[in-house]
């Protein structure tokens, strides 16, 4: 359960969902061969103050990172350029 801001320098407690932003990331676990993977979703919250300038991203290894919005946009554009 989400209880605090995902920004480790803030950690504001979550009291209301009316401020800030909720992020949901796929954290599915690989199953043994022949079995379906276990589907799991992890929830994170950035408080209203942090959500103005920060966002959460998940890298290819599944690690959740807090990034400045401009840095996250640039990183996304770099990935698209590398693919295309």
| Distances 68 to 12, 35, 52, 65, 74 between C-alpha atoms, Å | 18, 39, 9, 10, 10
Task: Provide the whole-model pTM.
Answer: 0.73
Which of 11-15, 36-40, 60-64, 78-82 has the weakest average pLDDT? 78-82
Q: Are 12 and 53 a contacting pair, CB within 8 Å?
A: no
| Predicted confidence (pLDDT) per residue in 29-76, tens digit | 766 777 777 888 999 999 999 999 999 999 888 899 999 987 666 666
d(CA 4, CA 13): 4
What sign results for the dihedral spanned by CA atoms 79, 81, 22, 49?
Answer: positive
């Amino acid at each position: 359960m989400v209880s605090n801001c995902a920004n480790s320098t803030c950690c504001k407690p979550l009291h209301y969902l009316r401020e800030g932003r909720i992020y949901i990331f796929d954290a599915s676990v690989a199953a043994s061969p022949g079995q379906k993977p276990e589907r799991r979703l992890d929830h994170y919250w950035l408080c209203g103050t942090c959500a103005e300038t920060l966002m959460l991203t998940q890298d290819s290894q599944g690690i959740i990172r807090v990034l400045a919005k401009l840095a996250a946009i640039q990183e996304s554009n770099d990935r698209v350029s590398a693919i295309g």
